């Protein structure tokens, strides 16, 4: 705080000189010494603003804790009291000891008290200490000496509310958040005139934004020329309400995969197949895309299967092709869950050790030390201890690759805090090591699925076929009964998936993946009859539409009859017609070529070869949009999905549909639309420094 004179103290607002203390006695004595000015007395007296004089005039009382000190106590001791009992006291002024104040105002007052010219303070005798009425008027004099801070620029109140509304939506928070008292206090601290919208108004605006943006999404889907595919996801909220989210996928003319959340709907009780089918059909009809849907990937539940079966019958009655398949990622999650079932108690013990290590810096350093001593690799700390597959595999990894570091860290910890039931026996370690070796290819498979840019049906089937092969090898060759039982359970789940997922539609989608074709497709799916069906569908549905939408060519005569160049154009058109007669050969030629490297981007490959296979590329755009998983694999196998599941669980019925849809639409690139007015948030932020640059809608 720095040193300050008594005169400085009298300049602080609302600070009174202590009555009846030694200072007043000194002033009285000095008046009787022949008019000589009293000897100046300097004190570290800024501490006095935190003490008040007791009624008896013999002690000082701390305003913060009411502890009393003798009037003759040195101010240094008062400062020690404040430092020891009230750290941070310097952020409170004398008038704010009972309530919080802004730090900036405190520092401003302190600077004002010390900014007076030192010569003026020294020239003023002690006997001329100003009375209280003059003390209170002194800050006005200070205002003339010290420059005043610049006033904050005016802030458009609606701009603040729009930005907060975007924050609510992006964070999946309910409108009632705007009535949180701490949020209101923070906004008032930044700008006192700010008035946040009430939750009712915010809710109505979010609903209106939802309706406006929904029309934008609907309009954009009407412009899509290719077939669409959808995925279904279900969850239950804290209100025990079952919800269905429907996402739509397609490949645009630039060969980019597009996806958009269509809607989030409540499934009415009893939440069985008929209710799901009715809700799903309503969503498709509202967006006017029920006649453009080619495939649906569901979440493997029996109710979802029943709903998709009813939807297929409805569409096939209108001569519209449609298929539905299970989610490969969820199937793989069930398979892995079966594999971990026998070691769940061991995983719990390991996770307890990991949790304690993550929260204890000393244990973390100790673990690192022992890994270096035993050369057990380098580890990224803190550990991933989530309850998903990535966290579970990490538990197995610690025991498999750093057993000595783990054991020595546990021993040291037990010596300090007492025994813990974390030490694994040799039998337990052997079981963990065997399971780790068996599940390592599964972990690599899930890692590849999570990192894959576009998990097409062909690529997903390629991985699933590898998983099925691993399970069969383990079942046939292992001598450990418990591992054979695990492989048997896994095998049943895997074969159920294959029986549901393998059909003519997924076969076509797989062979149109240039990395897969016929060589890497599962043997049980790769049949002559499937190939003939795919060829017939190609000739029937895509050869006839080629002239209209295929490669941009047309047969309209646009040349002048007398132009010498027109004859060459006529020859070109004839040759193009000849090539169209051999349209069926496009599929044969495509399949005759070797597959592209597995690291190839399938859509980029087609973008570069669409002119070579103009008709087949139309078919590829439709079928490559079929999803092998009903949701992003990262949401199932890593901690990425944890926050999303929490948001799904916590949002109330009144706001979940609008909040989730608007959030997803913004992420998909749609503009924030309110009653045909686009809200430009970047310009709203700029308006904080240039308030006249942006105009926002006004609301009554």
Domain limits, the chain = 154-317+653-689, 330-497, 503-547+581-628
pLDDT bracket for residue 689 (50, 70, 90): low
Question: Quick one: pLDDT at residue 25?
Answer: 41
Question: Quick one: pLDDT at residue 87?
Answer: 66
Please, which residues bridge with residue 324 across strands?
A: 296
Report the range of poorest mean pLDDT among 122-136, 410-424, 461-475, 667-681.
Answer: 122-136
Phi, psi of 78 (to 5 degrees): -65, -40
Question: Quick one: pLDDT at residue 37?
Answer: 52
pLDDT bracket for residue 658 (50, 70, 90): very high
The maximal CA–CA distance of the chain, rounded, in angstroms, is 128
Question: Quick one: pLDDT at residue 200?
Answer: 95
Average pLDDT for 635-649: 83
Sign of the C-alpha dihedral, residues 370, 373, 374, 378? positive
Average pLDDT for 464-485: 90
Q: Residue 261: pLDDT above 90? A: yes
Q: What is the pLDDT of residues 183-222, one digit of tens each?
A: 999 988 888 888 899 999 999 999 999 999 999 999 999 9
Ramachandran sector of residue 199 (left: φ over 0; alpha: ψ -120 to 50; beta: rest):
alpha
pLDDT bracket for residue 133 (50, 70, 90): very low
Q: What is the pLDDT of residues 22-47, one digit of tens each?
A: 334 433 444 444 445 554 444 445 77
Average pLDDT for 491-497: 94
- Taking alpha carbons only, the member of 459, 444, 500, 388 closest to residue 627 is 459
Q: How open is the CA angle 48-53-59, to the nearest 5 degrees?
A: 100
How many C-beta atoms lie closer than 10 Å to residue 168's C-beta?
20
Q: How many residues does the chain have?
A: 700
Q: What is the pLDDT of residues 53-112, one digit of tens each?
A: 888 788 888 887 788 888 878 777 787 787 777 766 665 544 444 443 332 332 333 333
Q: Residue 434: pLDDT above 50? A: yes
Using DSSP's 3-state secondary structure scheme, residue 342 falls into helix
Report the range of poorest mean pLDDT among 237-246, 253-262, 380-389.
Answer: 380-389
Q: How open is the CA angle 458-459-462, to the nearest 5 degrees?
A: 90
DSSP 492: H
List, in order, residues 6 or more apart from 650 with CB less than 8 Å away.
172, 237, 238
Question: Quick one: pLDDT at residue 513?
Answer: 97
Q: What single string gives the DSSP state of each residue in 436-485? A: HHHHHHHHHHHHHHHH-SS-BHHHHHHHHHHHHHHHHHHHHH---HHHHH
Using DSSP's 3-state secondary structure scheme, residue 262 falls into strand
Determine the Cα–Cα distance for residues 507 and 43; give it in Å rounded to an integer.
Answer: 91
Q: How far is CA 45 from CA 4, 7, 10, 499, in A?
A: 7, 10, 10, 86
Average pLDDT for 144-165: 63
pLDDT bracket for residue 142 (50, 70, 90): very low
Q: How far is CA 294 from CA 253, 534, 624, in A?
A: 18, 15, 11
Residues 443-456 as b/e (b if ≥16 CB within 10 A, e otherwise) read: bebbeebbeeebbb
List, in order, residues 6 or more apart from 479 with CB less than 8 Å away.
none
Q: Residue 575: pLDDT above 70? A: no
The CA radius of gyration of the chain, in Å to the nearest whole number, is 38
Report the range of poorest mean pLDDT among 136-140, 323-327, 460-464, 646-650.
Answer: 136-140
Average pLDDT for 579-608: 85
Determine the Cα–Cα distance for residues 599 and 601; give it in Å rounded to an integer.
Answer: 7
Question: Quick one: pLDDT at residue 554?
Answer: 39
Please, which residues bridge with residue 235 across strands?
A: 243
Q: Residue 369: pLDDT above 90? A: yes
Determine the Cα–Cα distance for residues 103 and 37; give it in Å rounded to an integer.
Answer: 38
Phi, psi of 102 (to 5 degrees): -80, 140
Alpha helices by DSSP H, listed for 191-249, are: 199-222
Please, which residues bridge with residue 233 across strands?
A: 245
How much of the chain is in helix, strand and coil states, percent to nearest 5?
60, 10, 35
Sign of the C-alpha dihedral, residues 165, 170, 171, 175? positive
Higher pLDDT, 126 or 173: 173
Q: Among residues of the chain, what percentage have pLDDT more than 90?
A: 55
Q: What is the pLDDT of residues 519-534, one digit of tens each?
A: 999 999 999 999 999 9
Average pLDDT for 437-453: 93
């Amino acid at each position: 705080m720095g040193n300050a004179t008594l005169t400085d103290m009298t300049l602080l607002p609302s600070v009174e000189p202590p009555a009846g203390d030694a200072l007043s006695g000194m002033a009285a004595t000095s008046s009787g010494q022949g008019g000589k000015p009293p000897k100046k007395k300097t004190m570290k007296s800024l501490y006095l603003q935190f003490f008040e004089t007791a009624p008896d005039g013999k002690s000082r009382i701390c305003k913060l804790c009411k502890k009393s000190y003798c009037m003759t106590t040195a101010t240094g001791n008062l400062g020690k009291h404040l430092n020891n009992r009230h750290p941070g006291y310097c952020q409170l002024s004398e008038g704010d000891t009972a309530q919080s104040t802004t730090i900036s105002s405190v520092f401003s007052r302190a600077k004002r008290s010390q900014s007076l010219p030192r010569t003026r303070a020294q020239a003023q005798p002690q006997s001329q200490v100003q009375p209280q009425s003059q003390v209170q008027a002194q800050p006005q004099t200070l205002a003339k000496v010290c420059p005043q801070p610049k006033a904050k620029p005016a802030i458009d109140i609606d701009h603040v509310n729009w930005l907060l509304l975007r924050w609510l939506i992006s964070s999946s928070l309910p409108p009632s958040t705007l009535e949180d008292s701490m949020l209101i206090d923070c906004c008032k601290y930044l700008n006192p005139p700010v008035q946040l919208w009430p939750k009712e108004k915010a809710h109505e605006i979010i609903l209106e934004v939802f309706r406006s943006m929904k029309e934008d999404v609907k309009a954009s889907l009407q412009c899509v020329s290719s077939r669409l595919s959808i995925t279904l996801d279900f969850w239950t909220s804290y209100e025990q309400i079952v919800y269905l989210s429907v996402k739509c996928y397609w490949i645009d003319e630039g060969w980019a995969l597009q996806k958009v959340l269509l809607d989030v709907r409540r499934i009415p009780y009893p939440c069985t197949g008929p209710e799901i089918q009715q809700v799903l059909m309503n969503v498709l009809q509202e967006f006017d895309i029920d006649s453009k849907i080619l495939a649906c990937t569901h979440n493997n539940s029996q109710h979802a299967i029943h709903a998709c079966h009813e939807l297929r019958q409805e569409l096939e009655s209108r001569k519209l092709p449609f298929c539905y398949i299970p989610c490969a990622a969820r199937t793989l999650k069930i398979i892995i869950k079966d594999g971990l079932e026998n070691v769940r108690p061991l995983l719990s013990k390991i996770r307890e050790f990991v949790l304690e290590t993550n929260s204890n810096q000393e244990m973390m350093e100790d673990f690192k030390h022992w890994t270096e001593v035993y050369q057990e690799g380098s580890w990224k700390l803190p550990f991933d201890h989530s309850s998903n597959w990535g966290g579970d595999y990490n538990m197995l990894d610690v025991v498999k690759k750093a057993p000595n570091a783990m054991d020595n860290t546990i021993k040291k910890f037990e010596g300090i805090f007492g025994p813990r039931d974390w030490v694994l026996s040799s039998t337990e370690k052997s079981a963990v090591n065997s399971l780790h070796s068996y599940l390592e290819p599964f972990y690599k498979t899930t890692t590849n699925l999570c990192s894959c840019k576009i998990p097409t049906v062909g690529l997903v089937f390629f991985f699933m076929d590898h998983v099925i092969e691993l399970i069969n090898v383990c079942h046939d060759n292992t001598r450990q009964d418990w591992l054979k039982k695990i492989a048997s359970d896994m095998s049943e789940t895997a074969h159920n998936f294959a029986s549901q997922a393998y059909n003519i539609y997924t076969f076509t989608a797989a062979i149109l993946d240039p990395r897969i074709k016929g060589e890497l497709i599962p043997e049980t799916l790769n049949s002559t009859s499937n190939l003939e069906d795919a060829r017939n569908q190609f000739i029937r549905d895509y050869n006839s539409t080629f002239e209209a939408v295929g490669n941009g060519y047309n047969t309209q005569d646009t040349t002048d009859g007398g132009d010498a160049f027109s004859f060459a154009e006529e020859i070109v058109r004839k040759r193009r017609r000849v090539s169209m007669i051999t349209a069926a050969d496009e599929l044969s030629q495509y399949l005759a070529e070797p597959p592209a490297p597995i690291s190839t981007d399938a859509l980029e490959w087609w973008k570069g070869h669409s002119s070579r296979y103009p008709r087949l590329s139309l078919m590829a755009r439709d079928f490559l949009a079929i999803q092998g998983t009903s949701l992003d694999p990262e949401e199932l196998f890593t901690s990425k999905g944890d926050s999303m599941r929490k948001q799904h669980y916590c949002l109330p019925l009144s706001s979940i549909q609008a909040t989730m849809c608007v959030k997803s639409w913004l992420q998909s690139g749609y503009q924030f639309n309110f009653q045909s007015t686009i809200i430009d948030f970047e310009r709203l932020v700029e308006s904080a420094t240039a308030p006249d640059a942006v105009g926002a809608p006004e609301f009554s």
